């Protein structure tokens, strides 16, 4: 145990003290924020030169008081196309919008833009948005449709579930969405963790093998202790990094809120207090936000949170053991390494896609069985957890995860102890199988 | 008493027997040579002794006790293929490796400081291994092998890659540790070093023990009664059925005698002839010659 701790500490501190850890931990979130800010800035900037356009309204639908829309100024000074064209040639205007005559039976209406210069995409859409509304209003008026009747045509549709047995938990339509999203986040976190840190375990194992220090290490401690120390050490680094990111995200969102005035949604807070505060602020309550809050407070956190943590840890341990075994079988040949890496990442990727499918169909046969199966359970089950799957499925899934993690670390340990001492030849899968049954 | 004792040790891999019934003892306080050509099974044997792998059959005893999990802390092992964490600081690295051998942190630090002073490298603590030259790295590796004061030291080609100055430095340290009671197993295929350093040897080929014993005894056993006589004056004319001349020059002659003839008999013969002798030596085979001969025999 003491030896595992020593290995864990070394793995942890050499990583945490390294420049790349500091860079990825603190600069990555800032980088992401800067990236999105830049993206937002770029996207919000359209064409910035103002265009003077003349409008020739042969349809009789325009509102002449409207002289500016975005970066287009509109003038109605020219009565016909010819005078407007003359003005264009005299460089008084940059183009002419010609609205042809219109009737109620027109379903395809072409506005003509006269100019030798092309319109920018955002300018085109400005013009389209401006006149589609006008055409619609023209038709409503001409056809004599009552606005209040029109409002009645559009209907919002919802499927709201209602329980039949009195003992069943009351579920609202939002429950499934909210809980699947939560489970999805847990699944996604696990996926990221395994992909980033699992492969770090693999690299660390193969590095020790390639630089030969492993022979010194395992003359002092058991290979299994070395492997476990490594998995736990790298895992702790991952947890620390995720934690720092979470804190940074909260800090950034608070700072962002106070500077930009964007209201951040405070999940897990007291719904009633927030609702009240929002009402007092005179903000129009978005029903969905309140609904989400309500759903979040009705979920059985006492059971689900420990299970989330359980699946996260077990999932990480299972996959990183697999990565460790794969790392031990690698030589310094990169091509072999890639083929072997596939073996470890493939089940994770498949599990991730099943989890995505399970968000929309959490009770499908595939979702149910894969949440119990080894390798898939820790990724798929979290997605289903908040939807109250039958207890036997949870128990089966937990048991199968535990059995898997024990069996796999044992198997990985068997492969690892042989693999780290094998040099110079490519390990076939048949050979990996043989290593499991070798005597020490 | 034997610090290490192997009895009929076997290690079987799927398609070959790397160690095939090896038996030998290493006496406490000795410098013991483990010899063999490449692929003879030396590394497999060392890995069994260092508990990296386990024997399939036979017993390995350390100080009369079957090999167990307490023993690694009493063994220091310098593998032939050296390896350290390239990006880790020298001091931290040695501290880590010493702790793995069961030393307390404070104790380990004291011992590392002792070695740093001994090798005059006190300013190396915060250097990264990758900043050091290969010879410097070897020193660090050596410290990591002996820092926990092992009772049994296993050195696999300890001088490979070292310049003559560092070779002497390490050699002196090995002698000193041996003087202080450390038993040393010295694995190599460089025979001149074996003759210089070792008292006892075992020669392994194809997983089996070919030769085992004291260096001098082995030489005695494999000597071929060859004498070299240096002389002044005229060439002696030697003709006898008891010996044959191997080579002769103006001032020396090399003779091989039959087993039953004593060396004094030859000397008498020469004196009778009035040869003016100025040197008279028995030519014993080098370990290298014995090695090549025995390996050649077992490979046939």
With an 8 Å Cβ cutoff, are A6 and B96 in contact? Answer: yes
Which of B194, B219, B244 is the last residue before a domain boundary?
B219
pLDDT band, very low/low/confident/very high, at A262 (cuts 50, 70, 90):
very low
Residues B204 and B234 in one domain: no
Query: In terms of Cα–Cα distance, which of A419, A233, A440 is closest to B96?
Result: A233
Q: Average pLDDT in the A17-37 region?
A: 83
What is the total count of domains within chain B? 2
B289 part of a folded domain: no
Residues B179 and B160 in one domain: yes
**Cα dihedral value A345, A346, A350, A353, nearest 10:** 50
How many Å lie between the alpha carbon of B192 and the closest alpha carbon of chain A? 27
Q: Which of residues 15-44 of A touch B (CB under 8 A)?
A: 18
Residues A224 and A359 in one domain: yes
Residues A179 and A138 in one domain: no
Contacts of B138 in chain A (CB under 8 A): none
Residues A192 and A279 in one domain: yes
**DSSP at B260:** T
A139 part of a folded domain: yes
A434 touching B (Cβ < 8 Å): yes
Q: Which of B52, B69, B99 sits opposite A219 (nearest CB)?
A: B52
Comparing A152-166, A393-407, B176-190, the range with the smallest average pLDDT is A152-166
- CATH code for the domain in which residue B188 is found: 3.40.50.300
Q: Give pLDDT tens digits for B51-108.
A: 888 888 899 999 988 988 888 889 999 998 888 998 889 999 999 999 999 899 999 9
How many Å lie between the alpha carbon of A258 and the closest alpha carbon of chain B? 43
Q: Average pLDDT in the A228-248 region?
A: 89
Tokens at residue B242, please? 């008891």
- Contact (CB, 8 A) for A7 and A222: no
Residues A191 and A331 in one domain: yes
Residues B10 and B80 in one domain: yes
Q: B161 pLDDT exceeds 90?
A: no
Query: Which of A5 and A46 is assigned the larger pLDDT?
Result: A5
Residues A207 and A352 in one domain: yes
Which of A130, A145, A160 is the last residue before a domain boundary?
A145
- Contact (CB, 8 A) for A229 and A6: yes
Contacts of A206 in chain B (CB under 8 A): none
Percent of chain A at pLDDT > 90 equals 7
Domain that includes residue B77, residue range: 2-219
B299 part of a folded domain: no
How many Å lie between the alpha carbon of A334 and the closest alpha carbon of chain B? 20
pLDDT band, very low/low/confident/very high, at B182 (cuts 50, 70, 90):
very high
Percent of chain B at pLDDT > 90 equals 32
Q: A147 pLDDT exceeds 70?
A: yes
Q: Average pLDDT in the A104-132 region?
A: 85
Q: Average pLDDT in the A97-125 region?
A: 85
With an 8 Å Cβ cutoff, are B79 and A220 in contact? Answer: no
DSSP-H helix ranges across A144-172: 147-153
**Cα dihedral value A240, A243, A244, A248, nearest 10:** 170
Q: Give pLDDT tens digits for A186-235.
A: 778 888 888 888 888 988 888 888 888 888 898 888 888 999 999 999 99
* Residue A292: per-residue pLDDT: 67
Q: Average pLDDT in the B256-268 region?
A: 79
* Residue A438: per-residue pLDDT: 65
| Burial of B103 per CB tally in 10 Å (0-12, 13-18, 19+) | buried
B292 part of a folded domain: no
With an 8 Å Cβ cutoff, are A219 and B77 in contact? Answer: yes
Residues A306 and A376 in one domain: yes
Residues B259 and B132 in one domain: no
End-to-end CA distance of chain B: 36
Average of per-residue pLDDT values in chain B: 87
* Residue A428: per-residue pLDDT: 67
Q: A349 pLDDT exceeds 80?
A: yes
* Residue A80: per-residue pLDDT: 85
pLDDT band, very low/low/confident/very high, at A332 (cuts 50, 70, 90):
low
Number of residue pairs across A and B with CB atoms under 8 Å? 57
Chain B, nearest residue to A4 by Cα = B100
A95 part of a folded domain: yes
Residues A224 and A77 in one domain: no
pLDDT band, very low/low/confident/very high, at A284 (cuts 50, 70, 90):
very low
Longest dimension (CA), chain B: 75
Query: In terms of Cα–Cα distance, which of B60, B58, B56, B90 is closest to B72?
Result: B60
Q: A274 pLDDT exceeds 60?
A: no
A31 part of a folded domain: no
Residues B128 and B259 in one domain: no
Residues B53 and B116 in one domain: yes
Q: Average pLDDT in the A112-132 region?
A: 85
A424 touching B (Cβ < 8 Å): no
CA atoms of A266 and B237, how far apart (whole Å) = 113
How many Å lie between the alpha carbon of A324 and the closest alpha carbon of chain B? 18
What is the total count of domains within chain A? 2
Report if pTM > 0.95: no
B82 part of a folded domain: yes
Tokens at residue A109, please? 């209406």
How many Å lie between the alpha carbon of A214 and the closest alpha carbon of chain B? 8
Tokens at residue A412, please? 């990985």
Percent of chain A at pLDDT > 70 equals 81
With an 8 Å Cβ cutoff, are A220 and B87 in contact? Answer: no
Q: Average pLDDT in the B264-287 region?
A: 83
* Residue A268: per-residue pLDDT: 42
Residues A249 and A129 in one domain: no
Residues B250 and B208 in one domain: no
Query: Which of B253 and A252 is assigned the larger pLDDT?
Result: B253
Contacts of B96 in chain A (CB under 8 A): 6, 10
Contacts of B82 in chain A (CB under 8 A): 212
Residues B272 and B239 in one domain: yes
Query: Which of B222 and A178 is assigned the larger pLDDT?
Result: B222
Q: Average pLDDT in the B245-250 region?
A: 82
Residues A129 and A219 in one domain: no
Average of per-residue pLDDT values in chain A: 80
* Residue A169: per-residue pLDDT: 56
With an 8 Å Cβ cutoff, are B52 and A214 in contact? Answer: no
B24 part of a folded domain: yes
Q: Give pLDDT tens digits for A374-405.
A: 888 888 888 888 777 888 888 999 999 999 98
Q: Give pLDDT tens digits for A67-85.
A: 888 788 888 888 888 888 8
Residue A411 Rama label (left phi>0; alpha psi -120 to 50; beta): alpha
Half-sphere exposure of A138 (CA within 13 A, CB side): 18
Residues A254 and A292 in one domain: yes
With an 8 Å Cβ cutoff, are B87 and A439 in contact? Answer: no
Contacts of A208 in chain B (CB under 8 A): 83
Q: A285 pLDDT exceeds 90?
A: no
- CATH code for the domain in which residue A86 is found: 3.40.190.10
pLDDT band, very low/low/confident/very high, at A295 (cuts 50, 70, 90):
low
Considering just the CA atoms, what is the radius of gyration of chain B in Å?
24
Q: B148 pLDDT exceeds 70?
A: yes
Residues B194 and B239 in one domain: no
Query: Which of A179 and A204 is assigned the larger pLDDT?
Result: A204
Contacts of A217 in chain B (CB under 8 A): 100
Chain A, nearest residue to B44 by Cα = A421
Residues B47 and B149 in one domain: yes
With an 8 Å Cβ cutoff, are A215 and B83 in contact? Answer: yes
Q: Average pLDDT in the B171-189 region?
A: 91
Domain that includes residue A68, residue range: 51-145
A19 part of a folded domain: no
Which residue's structure tokens are 């003559």? B164
Residues A193 and A337 in one domain: yes
Q: Which distant-in-sequence residues (6+ apart) come within 8 Å of A351 by Cβ? A: A370, A375, A376, A378, A379, A380
Q: Which distant-in-sequence residues (6+ apart) come within 8 Å of A100 by Cβ? A: A58, A59, A109, A110, A111, A112
Q: Which distant-in-sequence residues (6+ apart) come within 8 Å of A426 by Cβ? A: A331, A333, A336
Residues A270 and A126 in one domain: no
Q: Average pLDDT in the A20-34 region?
A: 83
B97 part of a folded domain: yes
CA atoms of A410 and A413, how far apart (whole Å) = 5
- Contact (CB, 8 A) for B209 and B22: yes
B171 part of a folded domain: yes
A338 touching B (Cβ < 8 Å): no
């Amino acid at each position: 145990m003491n030896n595992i701790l020593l290995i864990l500490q070394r793995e942890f501190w050499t990583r945490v003290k390294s420049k790349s850890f500091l860079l990825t931990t603190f600069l990555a979130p800032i980088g992401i924020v800067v990236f999105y800010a830049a993206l937002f800035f770029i996207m919000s900037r359209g064409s910035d030169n103002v265009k003077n356009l003349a409008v020739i309204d042969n349809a009789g639908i325009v509102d002449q008081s409207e002289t500016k829309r975005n970066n287009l100024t509109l003038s109605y000074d020219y009565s016909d196309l010819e005078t407007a064209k003359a003005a264009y040639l005299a460089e008084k205007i940059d183009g002419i919008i010609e609205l042809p005559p219109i009737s109620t039976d027109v379903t395809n209406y072409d506005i003509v833009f006269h100019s030798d210069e092309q319109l920018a995409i955002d300018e085109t859409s400005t013009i389209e948005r401006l006149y589609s509304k006008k055409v619609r209003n023209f038709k409503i008026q001409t056809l004599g449709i009552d606005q209040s009747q029109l409002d009645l045509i559009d209907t919002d549709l919802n499927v709201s579930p209602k329980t039949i047995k009195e003992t069943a938990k009351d579920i609202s339509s939002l429950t499934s969405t909210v809980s699947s999203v939560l489970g999805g986040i847990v699944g996604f976190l696990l996926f990221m963790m395994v992909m980033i840190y699992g492969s770090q375990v693999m690299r660390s194992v193969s590095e020790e093998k390639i630089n030969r220090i492993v022979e010194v290490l395992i003359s002092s401690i058991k290979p299994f202790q070395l492997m476990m120390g490594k998995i736990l050490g790298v895992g702790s680094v991952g947890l620390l990094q995720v934690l720092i990111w979470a804190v940074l995200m909260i800090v950034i969102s608070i700072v962002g809120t106070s500077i930009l005035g964007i209201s951040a949604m405070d999940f897990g807070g007291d719904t009633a207090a927030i609702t009240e505060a929002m009402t007092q602020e005179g903000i129009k309550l978005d029903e969905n936000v309140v609904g989400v809050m309500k759903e979040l407070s009705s979920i059985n956190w006492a059971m689900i949170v420990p299970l989330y943590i359980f699946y996260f840890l077990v999932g990480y341990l299972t996959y990183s053991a697999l990565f460790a075994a794969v790392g031990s079988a690698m030589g310094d040949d990169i091509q072999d390494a890639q083929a072997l890496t596939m073996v470890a990442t493939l089940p994770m990727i498949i599990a991730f896609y099943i989890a995505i499918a399970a968000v929309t169909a959490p009770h499908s046969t595939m979702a149910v069985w894969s949440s119990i199966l080894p390798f898939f359970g820790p990724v798929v089950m979290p997605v289903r957890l908040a939807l109250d799957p039958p207890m036997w499925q949870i128990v089966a899934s937990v048991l199968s995860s535990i059995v898997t993690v024990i069996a796999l670390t044992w198997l990985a340990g068997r492969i690892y102890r042989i693999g780290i001492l094998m040099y110079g030849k490519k390990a076939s899968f048949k050979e990996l199988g043989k290593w499991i049954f070798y005597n020490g | 008493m034997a610090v290490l004792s192997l009895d009929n040790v076997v290690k079987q891999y799927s398609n070959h027997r790397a160690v095939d019934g090896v038996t030998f003892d290493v006496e406490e306080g000795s410098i013991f040579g483990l010899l063999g050509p490449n692929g003879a099974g030396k590394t497999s044997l060392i890995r069994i002794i260092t508990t990296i792998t386990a024997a399939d059959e036979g017993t390995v005893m350390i100080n009369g006790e079957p090999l167990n999990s307490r023993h690694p802390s009493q063994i220091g092992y310098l593998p032939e293929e050296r390896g350290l964490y390239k990006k880790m600081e020298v001091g931290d690295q040695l501290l880590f490796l010493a702790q793995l051998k069961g030393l307390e942190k404070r104790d380990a630090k004291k011992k590392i400081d002792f070695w740093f002073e001994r090798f005059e490298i006190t300013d190396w603590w915060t250097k990264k291994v990758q900043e050091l030259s290969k010879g410097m790295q070897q020193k660090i590796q050596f410290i990591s092998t002996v820092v926990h004061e092992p009772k049994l030291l296993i050195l696999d080609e300890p001088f490979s890659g070292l310049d003559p100055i560092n070779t002497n430095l390490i050699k002196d340290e090995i002698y000193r540790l041996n003087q202080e009671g450390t038993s040393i197993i010295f694995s190599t295929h460089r025979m001149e070093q074996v003759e210089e350093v070792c008292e006892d040897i075992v020669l392994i080929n194809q997983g089996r023990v070919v030769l085992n014993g004291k260096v001098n005894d082995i030489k005695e056993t494999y000597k071929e009664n060859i004498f070299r006589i240096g002389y002044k004056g005229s060439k002696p004319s030697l003709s006898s059925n008891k010996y044959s001349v191997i080579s002769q020059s103006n001032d020396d002659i090399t003779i091989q005698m039959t087993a039953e003839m004593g060396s004094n008999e030859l000397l008498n013969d020469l004196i009778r002839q009035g040869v003016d002798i100025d040197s008279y030596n028995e030519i014993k085979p080098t370990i290298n010659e014995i090695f090549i001969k025995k390996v050649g025999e077992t490979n046939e």
